[in-house]
Amino acid sequence: MLKGESDQEMAEEDPDGVSDEDRTACTHLPFILEVLEKEKTTWRVLLKQGLRKHCACSSAWARELFLGFFPILRWLPRYQPKEWLLGDVMSGVIVGILLVPQSIAYSLLAGQDPIYGLYTSFFAGIIYMLLGTSRHISVGIFGVLCLLVGQVVDRELAVAGYLTDDNPNTTAVFDDVTMRPSCDRSCYAIVVGATVTFTAGVYQVLMALLQVKYLLGLKLPRAQGPGSLIKTWILLIRNISQTNVCDLLTSLLCLLVLIPAKELNERFKAKLRAPIPFELFVVTAATLASHFGRFQERFSSDVAGEIPTGFMPAQLPAWSLIPNVALDAISVAIVGFVITVSLSEMFAKKHGYSVDANQEMYAIGFCNILSSFFRCFTTSAALTKTLVKESTGCHTQLSALVTAVVLLLVLLVIAPLFYSLQKCVLAVIIVVNLRGALCKFADVPHMWRMNHVDATIWLVTMATSALVNTELGLVVGVLVSALCVLGRTQRVPAIRLGQAGRSELYEDLATYKGLQTQPGVAVFRYVAPIYYANQALFKRALYRAVGLNPVVEKARLKKQEKRERKQKVPPRREAEPSNAFLPKWTLFHTIVLDCAPVLFLDTAGVGALKEVAKDYGGLGVRLLLARCSMSVLDSLRRGGYLDPEAEGNKMVFFTIGDAIHYGQSLASQNGSCDTEC
């Protein structure tokens, strides 16, 4: 009401017998917030601002860009030798000692000769030290990525005609530049691996359970295509009679040593300053036993063979192979990036500093791109070595330089001494390091009890990866996860809410005791976004919860009107309240929908709300929305649900209480307002 109105105007009554003064006294005035108007900026202005911000050239900007791309220049000048040097040197030496047997062993997973595993660990650590932002993670060979690379290498070797490990020179490969024969099987394998690594850029690799043939000393062709795991086990069973007894006994003996040794390291890790490098001891002892026992000559044991010293000349990736491996590199890239960033953020949070995810992407990408020119395969952060690095006192990535020095010593001097090392020993190292992954199967019941959906996704991804192939397993895992998220928005009920005492707290009536309902008003909550995929299910869930389907009720009323016309019953007066059309058992005139859990609305969602409001409005029931977020309000305005130019538009409220009181006050205008006001 305006203050300048005369007493005569204030005393006038409406045709229904209620004065304007009484009506104003009964109508609840909801809490209103004034929207802060934002300046409208054209796209040209935004473009100019963006170009000015990112393309302006100054000495300070150039310096910041250079330091941001090479984080080592930020922390190296502030390095504290007295506090940090001892820990960095100790962790670098220990990680280097652990990397020697693991680099040689994991090269089997990638289908490469042992020397290339040492190259990969050497170059990756140095490059990440220059470009990475994490102080603690260890970048190098990671089993998951090694398997992904190995699958691509095996496929391309088969295409090129290199069918088995025993047939190394089946096909001559021509150099991209000179077009002359240049590669045997080993050389072509690293060409493929380096090309995958280069194509991935930011891409990385996966682990497997296919090491049993090495444990038994069997020489089997690596299975290709879908069902490779099943094919491998079938080949294994068919050729079990050809088991090399020497390799089998060596494998069993190494398992009997390494498994208890790993458990001892795990149990006493709090008391040990550094884990005991049992793997190196086993590799050394096995190499000596194989050399002096002449296992290769006497028992035909498969050994590592000649490992050259020094570095081979740099070479370009095989550009002609890039179309063949481009799709494979996508999964490698995603896996490697996710693992590296996750470990970086986890250890940064633990030690109280921050990492830049974009710079981590650059760092791991250039680790792969640059190292691919030096006959390396894909790398990423590795959890086990990172934990060792952290537990042995690492403070900065300077420890990676110490690790590189240890590997350099191996590459220049020690590598040829591993000639007689049996491959079955390397397979044992892989299997023992995989025991943590294998133990995950024991966690499946616990995962199932915690969350059925997550456990199902894990089982489906694992089964697809094992029974078909790893790349399809990753894709299926992502799709199943997306479908589960979509499915969760399809099975959301509309829950009836009640008020807790006199507070502004409204919760599920079916969950909590002592909640009170409001006379004439039903409050509901829908805990999901409303969009094209679930808008029909939203209406169905709301109608079911309300107990009144307006579409069915309108159809019933039409049938009733037809019967009345046939019976010549006089039509209802227009003055009759609209809610007289409601069923006699309906005890409400207003529905309040709590929209706080509704994250967003699309066009179909706004249309669904319009339909619900219109359908219930035809029966005399108002639909009021409460606690809408700004994104939901914007969608409602753009979709035409709210008319921004209408005065006093009160279909949306900031609190549930406001919506309830407003609905009750409007209803009281058609009757007594003794209780509602």
The pLDDT of residue 166 is: 46
- 481, part of any domain: yes
Give 4-14 pLDDT, tens digit per residue: 344 444 344 44
How far, CA to CA in Å, does 644 sit from each of 41, 592, 609?
Answer: 21, 21, 17
The Cα–Cα gap between 338 and 361 comes to 9
The one-letter amino acid code at 624 reads: L
Residues 389 and 472 in one domain: no
Residues 400 and 376 in one domain: yes
The pLDDT of residue 542 is: 87
Give residue 531's domain range: 494-668
DSSP for 594-660 reads E-TT---B-HHHHHHHHHHHHHHHTTT-EEEEES--HHHHHHHHHTTSS-TTSTT--SEESSHHHHH
For the chain, state the CA radius of gyration.
36
Residue 328 host element (H or E): helix 322-351
Beta-bridge mates of residue 303: 422
- 509, part of any domain: yes
The pLDDT of residue 33 is: 63
Closest CA to 393 of 360, 341, 353, 351: 351
- 91, part of any domain: yes
Written as six digits, the tokens of 271 are: 């008391």
Residues 449 and 559 in one domain: no
- Last residue of one domain, picked from the residues 367, 396, 413: 413
Residues 548 and 448 in one domain: no
The pLDDT of residue 3 is: 38
- 71, part of any domain: no
Residues 485 and 510 in one domain: no
Beta-bridge mates of residue 445: none
Residues 159 and 129 in one domain: yes
Residues 393 and 518 in one domain: no
Q: Are 193 and 115 in contact (CB under 8 A)?
A: no
Residues 384 and 452 in one domain: no
Residues 131 and 215 in one domain: yes
- 288, part of any domain: no
- Last residue of one domain, picked from the residues 432, 464, 490: 490
On the 0-12 / 13-18 / 19+ scale of CB atoms within 10 A, 343 is buried
Q: Are strands 520-526 and 588-594 parallel, antiparallel or unpaired?
A: parallel
Residues 568 and 657 in one domain: yes
Q: How many domains does the chain have?
A: 3
The Cα–Cα gap between 466 and 455 comes to 16
- 103, part of any domain: yes
At residue 175, what are phi and psi to the nearest 5 degrees? -65, 140
Residues 395 and 456 in one domain: no
Q: Domain with 632 in it: what CATH number?
A: 3.30.750.24
pTM above 0.75, yes or no: no
Coil vs helix vs strand at 149 = helix
Q: Are 393 and 86 in contact (CB under 8 A)?
A: yes
- 44, part of any domain: no
- Last residue of one domain, picked from the residues 490, 523, 554: 490
Positions of the chain with pLDDT lower than 70, given as ranges: 1-41, 43, 50-58, 162-184, 197-233, 269, 272-275, 434-439, 469-471, 568-586, 643-650, 667-677
Residues 220 and 106 in one domain: yes
- 348, part of any domain: yes
On the 0-12 / 13-18 / 19+ scale of CB atoms within 10 A, 74 is exposed
Give 363-418 pLDDT, tens digit per residue: 888 888 888 888 888 888 887 778 777 777 788 888 888 888 888 888 887 778 87
